[in-house]
Structure 1
Amino acid sequence: MDLYKLHASNPHIFQQFSVKDILFLYYKCPQKEKILQLYSSYNQFVFSLKGGKIFHQGDRRYKVDKDSSYLFRRAGFLQEMSDDTQGWELLAFYLKDDYLKKIFDDFRRHLPLNELPVTPKEMMVRISINDRIRECYLSIIPYFNQRESLPEEIIEIKLKELLYNIFVNPENRNILSYINSLADGYQTPVWQVMESNYMYNLKLSEYAHLANRSLSAFKRDFMEYYGVTPGRWLASKRLKRAKTLIETTQKTIGEIAFENGFSNLSHFCRVFKDKYGITPTECRN
């Protein structure tokens, strides 16, 4: 499920407005299922106001709670409900690469760009919040209840102020390193995208989107690196990871199938037996 499309197409659930290439969101998460499999096709800045969620990407686990904030990079992930009963209330912004590049270039001469750390590869990069940053994002919330039309220039100024204060905070050099890599035209290698996201049930076009490539360019780069088709590689990687989880965890077979990109349990059992000569249950026993 594409999180951006889910949000943008349901304004009655996710309070929102848009300015240029930015989608502004302020809502209480309506999630009912224990775990959802999602993917984000754009950069997202998320500011948690109440409650929280747990996110899984591959073998990494991220806990988002009250007053924590993150940059979500394009990626597939699992979103799990936390034990917090009050629900998750958040403010979020979807920003396309080109818009982030423009803002970065506007601020470049004011930013501390010397000796930046290595560009982070994690799906979620924590944003360190100080009083100025907190005041900036909280000041945007009243605009969601304003009925008259909003001057785009005012909203964009508020967002630029927020991004600038994030960028210049010395505790956010990982964020600055990532934005700097975008501005310098760095293209994430196909292998890096695939090794982090192969366990999610995505279409090839969606993997191409995560890799910021056209479908044809994605297939070409994939074949050049791996030497096999994406379909064969994905099936092999997912089954291998599923077998490891069957042998080393107490998760149910259904949970393991779901967490490795198989939406149909009977199909998973069939291809697992074709690969290993035994069923998932026999493998566990």
Structure 2
Amino acid sequence: MDQKLNQIKLFEEPLFSWYELSMPIEKQLSLPSESCFAYILEGDNQDVTKSGFLATQGTVILSLCGKTVGRSFSANETGYLSTIIVHFNQDVLQKVFDGKKPKFWKELDYPLKKDNFQEDASALVKAYFLSVAKFFEHKNALSEEILAVKLKEIILLLLQTEESSHLNLIIRRLFSDKTFSFREVIDSNLYEPLDLQRLAAMTNNSMASFKRKFNKMYDSTPAKYITQKKLERAKGILGLSQNSIKEICYDCGFINPSSFSRMFKNEYGCSPTEFRKNLSE
């Protein structure tokens, strides 16, 4: 079906991309691999990723990997999506900020727990993207200086969000020189709903290298160890919290409540509901 792309470049690299997609599309979107920030102008609420992202009008998706966003937006078989994307190319960022750290930037204290995130756009972020949309009507009048200022604007805007917010943390990661150990990344993400490919990428390893290092460090396969830790956490929460089984499932990093209950029963011989009931007797 239809796939329309309008693009504005800075220093010969994509800065703003405006995609209009009528699903299904014949070819997967080939977004640059660098981090990007997408605003959904129009969408039909369809689930566009296995992570539960929705094609919801007025929301934003910030990701450390543009290719992940491209795959997500290409997944639907029906529907319509219009999105404007800001690309955070590292070379472009270095030029725009003269190799210095942006104002309001602070070093990370711990590894990221999410490499992409979706939320409702704030009023300021909406206003930013609507102003970017106007740029596409006057592309010939845009100088490098104007585009550099516009890139700085969104970086500084996101750096002034709450320091613990995922948007703030991911933007801070773009300018961080700090490296975290393999174990620090794993331990910080044990209870996040990440697949092994994304976890391997966060440790800067191929899947094969990731599995070898993991097995050597934890004396177990990644899937077995991580599932075990999630189940142990769930077991502990069931004895202390009155949250629903579904809430506990998601809190421990499981994606599907039915799968969670099945794995819990295989491990402990009873369902989460039965386990909680036995504790109260």
TM value normalised by structure 2: 0.54
Q: Distance in 1 between matches of 2:156 and 2:128?
A: 14
CA-to-aligned-CA distance 1:228-273 (integer Å, 9 cap, x gap): 2202211211212222343313313x554465426372x5444323
Residue 156 (structure 1) shift = 8.3
Aligned to 1:105: 94
Selected match of 2:175 from 169, 177, 180: 180
Q: Distance in 1 between matches of 2:144 and 2:51?
A: 28
SS of 2:51's equivalent in the other structure is strand
Aligned to 1:233: 225
Residue 281 (structure 1) shift = 2.0
Q: Does 1:11 align with 2:21?
A: yes
Q: 1:191 to 1:31 in 2, by over 3 A?
A: farther
Q: 1:271 to 1:135 in 2, by over 3 A?
A: closer
- Equivalent position amino acid for 1:161 in 2: V
- Equivalent position amino acid for 1:31 in 2: N
Selected match of 1:250 from 212, 224, 243: 243
Q: Does 1:163 align with 2:151?
A: yes
Q: 1:229 to 1:242 in 2, by over 3 A?
A: same
Within 5 Å, which residues of 2 pair with 1:106-125? 106-109=95-98, 111=100, 117-119=106-108, 121=112, 123=114
Q: 1:151 to 1:238 in 2, by over 3 A?
A: same
Q: 1:234 to 1:143 in 2, by over 3 A?
A: same
Q: Does 1:263 align with 2:273?
A: no
Q: Distance in 2 between matches of 1:159 and 1:28?
A: 24
Q: Distance in 2 between matches of 1:219 and 1:155?
A: 47
Q: Distance in 1 between matches of 2:227 and 2:19?
A: 32
- Equivalent position amino acid for 2:51 in 1: L
TM value normalised by structure 1: 0.53
Q: Distance in 2 between matches of 1:12 and 1:282?
A: 47
Number of residue pairs the alignment of both structures matches: 224
1:136–1:158 CA contact under 8 A, matched in 2: no
1:49–1:91 CA contact under 8 A, matched in 2: no
- Equivalent position amino acid for 1:180 in 2: F
Residue 203 (structure 1) shift = 3.7
After superposition, the CA RMSD in angstroms is 5.2
1:242–1:257 CA contact under 8 A, matched in 2: yes
Residue 197 (structure 1) shift = 3.9
Residue 180 (structure 1) shift = 2.0
Aligned to 2:10: none
CA-to-aligned-CA distance 1:59-118 (integer Å, 9 cap, x gap): xxxxxxxxxx885557x9xxxxxxxxxxxx9965364xxx53212221343745699533
2:231–2:264 CA contact under 8 A, matched in 1: yes
2:101–2:175 CA contact under 8 A, matched in 1: no
1:193–1:211 CA contact under 8 A, matched in 2: yes
1:27–1:91 CA contact under 8 A, matched in 2: yes
Q: Distance in 2 between matches of 1:171 and 1:261?
A: 31
Q: 1:232 to 1:13 in 2, by over 3 A?
A: same
Q: Does 1:30 align with 2:44?
A: yes
SS of 1:117's equivalent in the other structure is coil
